[in-house]
């Protein structure tokens, strides 16, 4: 851990270690330790960004860009977090985002205007989630397999719809949403949607019977069943929820890019899983937090941004991401043992 | 017995688990070529003792002598190298590998150190299977495709693939039908004729009479009798040794004669093919009915089928006269049934969660409106249930995994208390519960019954059933062989009923 992965840049390494180490042992509550350490990592990244590219990184436009980029994958990650807490996995999120984004931007759909696009994106997402959920909950298929099949077919269908072409959006209402004029107090509308989904996700997970059942199913499905919970219906709802999040994310992506493409959402499944995992969600189910997942998303997006500003190629980014996942899991295992 | 030097001498073996002293200075001596039987009730320490012998558990104290030398069995491999092989009750075979691959797992014949010589392994396996009298098992077949009896043969072939001098068999006959048991005995005879010693564990006294040489009886972690002659020791003496307890549990007093209301739970001809025969029973509010029987007698299966966790093949379950939908736990819970299952951690508790969340999980609708939880009301209700059962610590915010076994069981009971259930199904309620905490748990169950709950209790510990229940049904191999008020039965009579080969009438 003392050897930096990349060549040290004027003390950046020291800054990275310090905030993570100090609150580490001091705070007793385990969940707080985890959240604080994620916040510490994020703060360290912001410092690194501020030091290496002070003018560009801390520029308002850049910060708005980081948050906007985080919004699309962030909404997907909230849904994914629920699925993973329940002991499942959804590999099809990226493909669903792609399918929803192209279905909602066909010439025919665009004739129905803003609401037509929004409605189509959401319905396609929920529809794909329904298929996943039925196969997994009532068809007794392993989530990995069912959603892998959905990944393949949704991507295929997206390609068939677009024939590989970019579908440019001509609806003004959509395009306006991405414009600077529609920012609310400097916050892009996409980021507001992300914030709303995060708050809703937190409330559902922590304050509703739905959230409690999700945790119970993931923690011990047999015990949940014998306690009288309808485990299958819960599983169905969870994949519907993930599909819904993908539909919303697809709409955000349409606004962001002003188009729909069949290559949208590429590898979102891996980014969302990685963000949830470093946020402290157990891949085996039964434990996880929305706050952790969202911090995970912000950490990854910030890294990408800093690397891009410093002209480092994507290959270096990928290596750094991999290292962060491993480090986060190792650290979590140590806290879990205490 | 000829004055042969013993093959194995275990002396003063002690092993404690958190809260339980499983073995308390046990001695065991096994001679070459003998069949040494281990007898004892569930929880007497048999499994722990053979795990020490297999190198799977390290004893806290005591010594193990092997062929005159003192040894330490650090791991299962160390035990195997000495020539000690164990065939567990739950067979430890890999279903996706072939017979030959399973037999040689971990010591495959190889070329150049890593290329498995499949043909050599198959030939060697075929020879072992012939020796065991089962040449019809194809060494190339997948173990998952074999019957339970054939899998046991494979397990034995694996034991014999090592240069084995002692084989431990843990209830090998439990899953076998009579023909297969005969074959098992032929194999045991063949082994002992070659000078291999067998440590044989069984609940069935008749089997011990047939093949045993000497018997060691375990009770509450101690060897209460050693090296009894297996063929001639009277049954009554063996049963008395197994049951005479050092620790007497305090059972709550039974209420006197009462006029109880009509049964709340009625079971009519309930059947699950292959598990238990048509079964009738009724439990009235305020009554505790006990099901006594050994492992494999179908006790837990009966409870889980009543609860809908297993689907019945015939018959029906009525609560307050209304039939339940078969195979639906939700229907059972809605009708007022609650189950405290045998495997508390695997089947009942959410180990990562707080006591509150564990207690409220079956009655969340009471604390929510439109899906929103009223966490204050939930906490208060959980606190009330926790206090009523004097669960400790009485702070329901603590994680359930930090509780002792007895308090975890109370958390499960609190769950059903909060739900307001009418019929409580208790499966091995004191498994993993400290001796000291048991009396308290018994008192809780009796008090709940006095308050009008109907209780159906299943336990492999006969004194528990006799002490706690008002009425007792004795199960043997999925059949009720006897029904009587608990006060009219004693432990010897019940053990005779559950252990003797022919169902008593």
Clarify whether residues B413 and B430 are in a common domain: no
Answer yes or no: is B1 within a domain: no
From the CA of A225, how many Å to the nearest CA of chain B? Answer: 7
Res. A8: pLDDT tops 60: no
CA atoms of A271 and B401, how far apart (whole Å): 33
pLDDT tens digits for A211-248? 999 999 999 999 999 999 999 999 999 999 999 999 99
Mark out the alpha helices in B56-163 (DSSP H runs). 76-82, 99-103, 118-131, 148-161
Clarify whether residues B375 and B505 are in a common domain: no
Res. A16: pLDDT tops 50: no
Clarify whether residues B302 and B409 are in a common domain: no
Shortest CA distance to B266 belongs to which of B324, B327, B341? B324
CA atoms of B304 and B428, how far apart (whole Å): 13
Q: What percent of chain B has pLDDT over 90?
A: 51
CA atoms of A126 and B275, how far apart (whole Å): 43
Put simply, the answer to whether B349 touches A220 (Cβ < 8 Å) is yes
- pLDDT score recorded for residue B40: 82
A207 touches chain B (CB under 8 A): yes
Residues facing B17 on adjacent strands: B20
- pLDDT score recorded for residue A95: 98
Last residue of a domain, one of B363, B387, B419: B419
Clarify whether residues B295 and B266 are in a common domain: yes
Structural domain for B69, as ranges:
8-243
Pick the more confident residue, A82 or B366.
Answer: A82
Res. B502: pLDDT tops 50: no
Clarify whether residues B68 and B172 are in a common domain: yes
pLDDT tens digits for A26-40? 444 455 678 888 899
Question: Which residues of B have a CB under 8 Å from any CB of A?
Answer: 307, 309, 329-330, 332-334, 339, 341, 346-353, 357, 361-362, 364-365, 368, 371-373, 375, 415
Average confidence score pLDDT of chain B = 87
Chain A residue with Cα closest to B307: A226
Res. A337: pLDDT tops 80: no
Mean pLDDT of A9-20: 38
Res. A300: pLDDT tops 70: yes
* The two structure tokens encoding residue A300: 């990854």
Q: At what angle do helices A209-219 and A189-207 cross, to 10 degrees?
A: 70
- pLDDT score recorded for residue B19: 61
Put simply, the answer to whether A222 touches B347 (Cβ < 8 Å) is yes
* B115-116 vs B314-319, strand pairing mode: unpaired
- pLDDT score recorded for residue B248: 59
- pLDDT score recorded for residue B244: 63
Sequence ranges of the domains in chain A: 62-337
Count the domains in chain B.
Answer: 3
Yes or no: say if B405 and B437 are a contact pair by the CB < 8 Å rule. yes
* The two structure tokens encoding residue A81: 């977090």
Clarify whether residues B89 and B141 are in a common domain: yes
Yes or no: say if B216 and B39 are a contact pair by the CB < 8 Å rule. yes
CB-CB: which of B348, B353, B364 is closest to A226? Answer: B348
Clarify whether residues B86 and B211 are in a common domain: yes
The domain spanning residue B118 has which CATH number? 3.40.50.300
Band (pLDDT 50/70/90 cuts) for residue A314 is confident
Rounded to the nearest 5°, which phi and psi values hold at B433?
-105, 135
Clarify whether residues B36 and B77 are in a common domain: yes
Rounded to the nearest 5°, which phi and psi values hold at B277?
-80, 165
Chain A residue with Cα closest to B367: A209
Mean pLDDT of B418-424: 95
Chain A residue with Cα closest to B365: A209
Instruction: Report the SS3 class of residue B15.
Output: strand
Put simply, the answer to whether B352 touches A286 (Cβ < 8 Å) is yes
pLDDT tens digits for B201-243? 887 777 888 899 999 998 888 898 888 898 888 777 777 787 7
Residues 59-118 of chain A whose Cβ lies under 8 A from any Cβ of chain B: none
CATH of A62-337, one of 1.10.3720.10, 1.10.3470.10, 1.10.540.10, 3.40.50.10610: 1.10.3470.10
Q: What percent of chain B has pLDDT over 70?
A: 95
From the CA of A86, how many Å to the nearest CA of chain B? Answer: 13
Clarify whether residues B325 and B361 are in a common domain: no
CB-CB: which of A207, A224, A226 is closest to B339? Answer: A226
Is the pTM higher than 0.90? The answer reads no
pLDDT tens digits for A72-111? 999 999 999 999 999 999 999 999 999 999 999 998 989 9
Answer yes or no: is B250 within a domain: no
Clarify whether residues B383 and B430 are in a common domain: no
Mean pLDDT of A124-128: 98
Res. A288: pLDDT tops 50: yes
Chain B CB contacts of A229 below 8 Å: 361
Res. A11: pLDDT tops 70: no
Put simply, the answer to whether A227 touches B309 (Cβ < 8 Å) is no
Res. B66: pLDDT tops 50: yes
Helices (H) and strands (E) in chain B, counts: 17, 24
Res. B71: pLDDT tops 90: yes
pLDDT tens digits for B258-304? 888 999 999 999 999 888 889 999 999 999 999 988 766 778 889 99
Pick the more confident residue, B3 or A166.
Answer: A166
- pLDDT score recorded for residue B16: 86
Mean pLDDT of A117-144: 97
Chain A CB contacts of B353 below 8 Å: 215-216, 219
* The two structure tokens encoding residue B311: 């689907």
pLDDT tens digits for B102-130? 888 877 777 777 777 788 889 999 999 99
A225 touches chain B (CB under 8 A): yes
Cis peptide leading into B376, omega within 30 of 0?
Answer: no
Clarify whether residues B107 and B190 are in a common domain: yes
ipTM of the complex: 0.81
pLDDT tens digits for A247-265? 999 999 999 999 999 999 9
Answer yes or no: is B256 within a domain: no
User: How many CB atoms neighbour CB A256 within 10 A?
Assistant: 16
The least confident of A229-243, B48-62, B80-94 is: B80-94
Put simply, the answer to whether A219 touches B350 (Cβ < 8 Å) is yes
Clarify whether residues B20 and B56 are in a common domain: yes
């Amino acid at each position: 851990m003392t050897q930096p992965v990349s060549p040290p840049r004027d003390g950046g390494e020291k800054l990275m270690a310090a905030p993570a180490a100090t609150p580490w042992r001091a705070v007793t509550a385990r969940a707080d330790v985890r959240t604080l350490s994620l916040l510490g990592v994020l703060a360290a990244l912001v410092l690194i960004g501020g030091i290496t590219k002070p003018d560009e990184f801390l520029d308002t436009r850049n910060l708005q860009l980081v948050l906007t980029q985080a919004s699309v994958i962030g909404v997907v990650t909230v849904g994914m977090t629920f699925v993973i807490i329940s002991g499942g996995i959804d590999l099809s999120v990226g493909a669903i985002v792609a399918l929803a984004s192209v279905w909602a931007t066909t010439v025919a759909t665009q004739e129905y205007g803003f609401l037509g696009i929004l409605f189509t994106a959401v319905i396609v997402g929920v529809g794909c989630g329904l298929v996943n959920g039925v196969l997994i909950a009532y068809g007794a298929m392993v989530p990995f397999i069912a959603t892998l099949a959905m990944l393949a077919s949704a991507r295929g269908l997206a390609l068939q719809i677009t024939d590989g072409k970019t579908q440019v959006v001509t609806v003004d209402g959509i395009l306006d949403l991405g414009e600077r004029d529609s920012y609310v107090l400097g916050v892009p509308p996409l980021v507001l949607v992300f914030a709303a989904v995060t708050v809703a996700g937190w409330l559902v997970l922590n304050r509703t019977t739905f959230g409690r059942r999700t945790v119970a199913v993931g923690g011990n499905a047999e015990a949940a069943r014998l306690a009288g919970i309808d485990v299958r219906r819960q599983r169905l709802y969870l994949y519907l929820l993930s599909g819904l999040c993908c539909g919303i994310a697809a709409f955000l992506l349409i606004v962001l890019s002003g188009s729909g493409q069949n290559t949208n959402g590429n590898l979102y499944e891996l980014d969302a899983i990685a963000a949830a995992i470093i946020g402290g969600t157990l891949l085996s189910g039964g434990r996880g937090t929305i706050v952790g997942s969202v911090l995970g998303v912000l950490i990854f997006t910030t890294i990408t941004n800093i690397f891009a500003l410093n002209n480092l190629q994507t290959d270096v980014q990928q290596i750094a991401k991999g290292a962060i996942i491993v480090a986060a899991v190792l650290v979590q295992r140590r806290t879990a043992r205490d | 017995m000829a004055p042969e030097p013993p093959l194995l001498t275990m002396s003063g073996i002690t092993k404690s688990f958190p809260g339980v002293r499983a073995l308390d200075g046990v001695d065991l001596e096994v001679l070459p070529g003998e069949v040494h039987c281990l007898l004892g009730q569930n929880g007497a320490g048999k499994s722990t003792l053979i795990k020490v012998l297999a190198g799977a558990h390290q004893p806290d104290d005591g010594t193990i002598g092997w062929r005159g030398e003192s040894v330490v069995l650090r791991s299962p491999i160390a035990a195997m190298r000495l020539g000690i092989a164990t065939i567990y009750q739950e067979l430890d075979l890999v279903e996706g590998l072939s017979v030959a691959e399973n037999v040689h797992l971990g010591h495959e014949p190889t070329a150049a150190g890593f290329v498995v010589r499949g043909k050599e392994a198959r030939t060697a396996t075929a020879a072992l299977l012939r020796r065991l009298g089962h040449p019809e098992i194809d060494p190339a077949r997948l173990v998952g495709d074999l019957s339970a009896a054939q899998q046991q043969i494979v397990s034995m072939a694996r034991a014999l693939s090592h240069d084995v001098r002692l084989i431990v068999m843990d209830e090998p006959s439990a899953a076998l039908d009579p023909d297969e048991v005969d074959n098992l005995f032929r194999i045991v005879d063949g082994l002992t004729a070659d000078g291999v010693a067998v440590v044989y564990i069984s609940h069935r006294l008749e089997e011990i009479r047939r093949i045993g040489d000497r018997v060691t009886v375990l009770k509450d972690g101690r060897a209460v009798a050693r090296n009894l002659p297996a063929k001639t020791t009277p049954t009554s003496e063996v049963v008395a040794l197994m049951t005479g307890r050092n620790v007497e549990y305090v059972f709550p007093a039974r209420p006197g004669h009462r006029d109880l209301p009509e049964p709340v739970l009625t079971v009519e001809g309930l059947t699950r093919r292959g598990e238990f025969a048509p079964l009738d029973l009724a439990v009235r509010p305020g009554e505790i009915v006990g099901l006594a029987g050994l492992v494999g007698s179908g006790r837990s299966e009966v409870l889980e089928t009543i609860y809908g966790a297993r689907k019945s093949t015939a018959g029906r379950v009525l609560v307050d006269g209304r039939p339940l939908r078969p195979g639906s736990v939700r229907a059972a819970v809605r009708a007022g049934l609650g189950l405290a299952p045998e495997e508390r951690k695997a089947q009942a508790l959410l180990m990562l969660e707080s006591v509150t969340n564990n207690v409220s999980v079956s009655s969340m609708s009471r604390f929510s409106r439109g899906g929103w939880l009223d966490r204050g009301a939930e906490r208060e209700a959980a606190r009330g249930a926790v206090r009523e059962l004097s669960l400790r610590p009485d702070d329901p915010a603590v994680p359930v995994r930090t509780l002792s076994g007895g308090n975890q069981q109370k958390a499960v009971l609190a769950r059903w208390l909060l739900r307001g259930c009418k019929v409580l199904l208790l499966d091995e309620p004191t498994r993993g519960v400290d001796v000291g905490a048991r009396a308290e748990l018994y008192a809780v169950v009796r008090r709940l019954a006095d308050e009008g709950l109907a209780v159906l209790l299943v336990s492999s510990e006969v004194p528990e059933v006799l002490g706690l229940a008002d009425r007792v049904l004795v199960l043997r191999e999925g059949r009720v062989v006897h029904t009587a008020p608990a006060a009219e039965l004693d432990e010897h009579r019940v053990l005779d009923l559950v252990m003797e080969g022919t169902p008593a009438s």
